[in-house]
Amino acid sequence: MRFKLPELPYAMDALVPHISAETLQFHHGKHHAKYVDTLNKLAAKTEWADVRLEEIVRRAAPGPLFNNAAQNWNHSFYWQCLSPRGGGDPSGKLADQIRGGFGDVTGFQREFNAAASELFGSGWAWLVREPDGRVAIKTTANADGPLVHGWVPLLTCDMWEHAYYIDYRHAKKKYLEAFWNVVNWEFVAARL
């Protein structure tokens, strides 16, 4: 199998009490694994068989191949946005950019939460850098993500129900609070 499920960069119970081991077992071990599996089946013996994942996401037409490649990429990115040593406030250049774009970190988090909560159906909330260099909050539906739009992804929060339903049921706001407690600012800062 050409595409592999990346290992989580922490233990299944590392994000407790914010995100449970059961959520990660299903989210990484079932949902993400299924996207990888399906991508392998769809790409095998086609012109996409040897193309890099990021290239497939950028170039594939809308449809199952794009959906499974993009979900694979989005999830691999999402796992890195979380850390058991996460939370708190960003620092340095990242903090300056956030203050420049949103006033302060609390204001940024409030806007991000509002955008994520208002997303109708399954999708993703992002902090991205736009081509003009400014940071912006975006939401995308289903498997869609920043690579397709020419935005540089800095941070994402998975807003599919499978990301939070085991721990928080319908309460997206509680999931978003939990997300900020484990957000990996170091990873985000390294993307700038």
**For tokens 């990301």, what's the residue?**
163
Q: Which of 160, 164, 168, 179 binds Fe ion (CB under 5 A)?
A: 160
Identify which of residues 75 and 90 has a Cβ nearer to Fe ion in the complex.
75
Please identify the residue of the shown chain whose CB is closest to the bound Fe ion: 158
Q: For residue 93, count other CB atoms closer than 10 A to its CB.
A: 10
At its nearest, how many Å lie between Fe ion and the CB of residue 158?
4
77 binding Fe ion? (CB under 5 A)? no
With CB under 5 A, what is the number of residues at the site for Fe ion?
A: 3
164 binding Fe ion? (CB under 5 A)? no
Q: For residue 155, count other CB atoms closer than 10 A to its CB.
A: 24
User: Given the rule CB under 5 A, which of 40-48, 131-139, 156-164, 170-178 is the region that contacts Fe ion?
Assistant: 156-164
The whole-angstrom separation of Cα 124 and Cα 160 is: 7
158 binding Fe ion? (CB under 5 A)? yes
At its nearest, how many Å lie between Fe ion and the CB of residue 144?
13
User: Does the CA dihedral 44-47-50-56 come out positive or negative?
Assistant: negative
Tokens describing residue 191: 């993307």
At its nearest, how many Å lie between Fe ion and the CB of residue 9?
16
144 binding Fe ion? (CB under 5 A)? no
- Beta strand 135-141 pairing with 152-158: unpaired
User: Phi and psi dihedrals of 115, rounded to 5?
Assistant: -60, -45
Q: Which residues bind Fe ion (CB under 5 A)?
A: 158, 160, 163
